[in-house]
Amino acid sequence: MRIHEHWNGIEPSDRGASVAMGNFDGVHLGHQAVIDLARKGQAPLGIVTFEPHPRQFFAPDAPPFRLMNAEARTHRLEKLGVTQLYELPFDAALAGMEAGAFVADVLVAGIGVAHVTVGADFCFGKGRKGNVETLRNAGRRHGFGVTIAELVAQDGEEISSTAIRAALSEGRPRDAARMLGHWHRIEGAVMHGDKRGKDLGFPTANMGVEGLHLPKLGVYAVKIDILTGPHQGSYDGAASLGVRPMFGENQPNLETYIFDFSGGIYGEHLSVALIDYLRPEMKFDGLPDLIKQMNADCDRARTILTTL
């Protein structure tokens, strides 16, 4: 995949794509329907999206809401066959650009789109004044095709990032996965921690969750992909998402114990898929009770993961 962080300076060989356009937070089944409709003939399949998410730009102090960071979104889009990712910087200049200027300067002069596909509720341009009809009319003027994808429903309800967030907040990762079309994953680099897990016999890979919507805090059965380094591959495990009440912590993070693994992975990038919610965070009377519960959590997670 070729990744472009601006619409200026794009090489001729990277122009002429058929693009799906949107935020694609979560890359759920509704997003995937838009992407599938963007596959047009021999044109490269592209994505036009924004970083940061426009909602982050307009409300920087709002609670974290994103289902995935830019890294996780890129990995998911690559798996769908996207070859050109135009990740546009959403800043004051872009936020203030009128819809007509966005089409002329960004889509046509900058990216050189051959075709644009968006969802039926897509809006763009300053004040979100541009809509699908604006885009259709602009396509006729500038000579690119436009396809409008209908919204996707499941069990009579529209699939949305909002519904997925609710499922995760309630500890229902399988329901979230049904709307996503894939497991919900948290991705990032492994950080150095306080090594308490190692001292307890459960060495963990620690990852930050800053900027992300937090699923229900607690312990999960997980699937782990190590994306970089000499230990690349897929593994099973159990993970604790939370603030470690036994030790008086207050900054949420993800601590993942990889079954039957002893390699060093500090600094490597992991993708941790939440499979099943096992239990909430708990405070124990002492370390022996904590260790006993951790063994029980791992046994239960192993049983669950063998059925996948």
Residues designated catalytic: 255
Distance, first Cα to last Cα, the chain? 30
Distance (Å, whole) CA 54 – CA 56? 5
Contacts of 115 (CB under 8 A, 6+ apart): 18, 19, 38, 40, 43, 144, 145, 146, 147
For residue 294, give the 3-state DSSP assignment.
helix
For residue 44, give the 3-state DSSP assignment.
coil
Whether the CB-CB separation of 50 and 19 falls below 8 Å is answered with no
Distance (Å, whole) CA 88 – CA 90? 6
Contacts of 300 (CB under 8 A, 6+ apart): 221, 278
Distance (Å, whole) CA 239 – CA 219? 6
